[in-house]
Structure 1
């Protein structure tokens, strides 16, 4: 049945007649008489019964006299066999009274006779159809209503009796007149006991006033709702929620649900809320509650502390205020997603009051806040996690680019990862490598041995061994593998470092050859050599030269500790000195006085080094006989002393007598000869001074030197010489102090450079300035005098090179470079922006 109004009013009828023309006529006239009538037609009763099986009709109009089964038999079948109450109208031309009586007795609703004016008779039939159809409908609806009412009453009574909540009926005085089983169970009274009580009897004195007000409201408004304490039969107190309505002038229906547990839970919940608030504020994560427009409703203490705002400043503002612009644009979309999916986890950036950016992971969920939908967001500071991820990424990238092969294997032997080093060496790409097993690479560890190997690794945690690997092309090469047992999450792995030891194997063979060569050198060396165990100090080996030098046999030396040999008693006095030697790793004595077994002096140069050999730490002592060198040095020192002292003294005596001669009256040629003699003596003294400086330079010790004070002192020493030549010396003084590695002769470097400028460049101004870089301090000395040609720049620091044969010795700048080399510094000659030459001295910062 359709829902349109026309179809709701339409009457579907079945016309049964053996005259087809009559059926067509009837269908036409009935349609004209009532547009709501929709008629189907059949010629026999059998066809009518078939039609009724598949169609629902509102009425049947049947002829009486028909072949096979007549109209009366059709009616009888409908009423007695099919038990159908469909309206049935006998519409026939036979006017016999007995037929009409039979039809009505069998249950026909109407008996109409054919004949007369077709329009009139069909109008009558149409009205009859409509009336019978409507009558049936009314009758059906009344019966249905009555049945529904009985069913409803029965159901309601069942509901009341079986309801899990108490149902009470009271009169206008508050006396109980009905109660269900649940009401009895709640109060602990029987039905008989309750029906003798008034509502005031079930409320404790403290709740009497509340009960009275609730009942008065019920009498006045016809309904009431109240949560109120009540007293059970056993005297215990409880809470129930009462919903009551007026059902008649003197009857009131009340529903009561025991909420004692709920009240207790509410108390617990209140305590829980207080505890939650404490936890809320004590959480290490920042917690925000905001409405669906993004406005802050609540925050915890961590959020206040992290963002730098007061709680008052945060409440009511939009969360966009402390989000980056990029993330603020996404907030509306995120809230919509939370409303749809109930939760959302994402990363964002919070901006504190002072502008600091904090990366956070936010876990948001939809929640109820004071009866309204809101969003609860927990923001975790992931700065450390981000840093860790960067480290992990760096580790992963480092692992991939590591210079040693690395791979991960499952307990089954399947390779899950191999880095680029191992893939390239074996000739596999990344995808193909992950399909391999360890036995595809290592013929020494077949599949059947994997379980045994894995169990051993799991027990020992770490294993190192040598084996060989086979490349994709079938070539094999030796490897050293260090495997570790690792647990990562819920999984177990073998984490292995793979080192191609082809070169090591080759180097090992070369080492054997080298050791043979070393042994020959050791045995034939013209210096004494001792090999000591660094742990014990015992001599492991001694070459023939040291045996001959000291007069001990090899057996007398090997196995003894160094300080147990008489020759070394005065040098290595005890174990502490030897320990220091081992820890320092290097000790050198320029002149060590040893004694032979026979007690003769043997001056030696003693140098010791420590290194690893054969898996243990050893000390090698090289002992060189310097008897001949010492004699040569003593002779050189004698000659230097003679040169510095006696020759200087004689030169100064000559200078004195030349001054006396200069006071006498001399002719022009004599004056010229005298000046040349004095200049030669002065140059001779200058050469002696530089030789003395060079001699001291050999013994110079490098230490920390403050450069500013050195420059100031040099300028003070050369100021008078410069002033005599009309030259200004300018030092760009800095408040900052600069410290460099140099020695006590550093001032001589700058004196020589300035004196060289005064003597050879003829400047008007000399400028000194200092600047520093990360590792160096550069002192620039420049002038506005003559430039130095490119050719001269290449030679100017050579020993003996000078551009002034009359006044120069060629030792000044040579001495400068020599000293700077000792200090591990350097010097450059350049063109000055002042127009002359510039010298840049570079020294290492301390």
Structure 2
């Protein structure tokens, strides 16, 4: 009863003493539901000892603690507060006023991550006990938005470029700090200026027309000259965009001082003398040719590989100094670059040397390919090392296969010894049961080893599906199931069409259904039941395997559906399921599973498999794979 009153106090309701007990309980149940449904975390704690009485569902996502983990503990026990001083101030305010509103602080979740929050709390009395009801609001989104706004503004203010906001009349009403630094005006002075005050090369009418042009185009760029207060000017490049903000038209100008660029352009002419040194410094062959194949420049490495000097090569036609078949291939590659404007990469060998050659287009101001640069790199050593690495990988895989094979042989020896001991034992049945158990464990170990070996091979080899008689495969699996589970005496029902069913698979198909049937019967303790349903339509064969077991968990469902197959948690859910899923995928099929329920109670599992029909393959059918779901 006290707990219900607490929930009523949380949403500021009071029970009418005239209400009946049924009405009170109904209201408190409703209040309890409201408490749990709140989007904000709510915590009820005892004022006397600080122990947590209850939390709602919203408490777990922000804190990482479940309701069961925190009840009976204090906020100090779970290290909830980031700053002890904040906690002291919060408690002091609560003791002084009996309530706290919008107390902003940071709380830690279970992983130690901090969350900005706003806390509101009240002290409520129920019977002789006093409780603290605390509502926590996550401020992360609000703080993040404010932070982003501040960051955006600071980005504008501190950007190296000059940024101006201008109205359609040419008046400046915002500039960043960079503008004041370049122009020498204060922000206050600039806020009353017009564009023609700082762009001396433009008249008022010309600038107004220019702003209209920006509006029509949406954006444009222009090189111009800007003026400082002392009359000095400097070259600038402006990028302008027309924007609308709350119905107001704005020109956003992004301006850069290009004095340095102009200076660099002047220096560029002087740097031509260094090009030869840079070209010759590379260990790769480098040539620059025109469309006719004339060599315009090259480096010493290219000249040496072609048996000439640099001076001899410049001006020669590349195709004239290459063998005819080589020249023809080079001409095709180079012509492709000239025609498409795309760079390409080719590998070829000459005199037992392997080259990787890149052909790059060099375009003129009209965006037309005017030249092609050729870089040829000797990759012989690289390929040799890659081949060595590949061989080492194959060798490691071979060792793994051998290791697994030997483990399997060892297990087989264990089984043989156990079976021999069983035949000559003279002791009680207990020994027989132990030996039988050991035999089963060894069999499972061998099965595990075989599965690992097969998975390892599947990762290295391609499966070539052949025509498989599904009826024969199913019959063999059922025969083995009846043998393996003879003590349980399972009931097995099968429904299938009268015609033969052929599918595209390999010799491991039987393993798929053996794994699925084994899983279906293994966990049924009483009156085990197995139902198989086979059907064919639209070029595919559908197989359903149903049981009356306890069902399977979400992680096993993920494995069957092909999700997270390579994660550790997946392998812990059963290597057999992973192997079955892998094989079905290699056959071009699909798998799914669902729980069978009756009035909300799980009564079994339905695993479905889809395989391509071999008849469809023979008849040339080309249909999309349906979902097993």
Rg comparison, structure with higher value:
1
Normalising by the residue count of structure 1, what TM-score does the alignment of the two structures yield?
Answer: 0.30
Query: Relative contact order, CA 8 A, sep 6+: which one is greater?
Result: 2
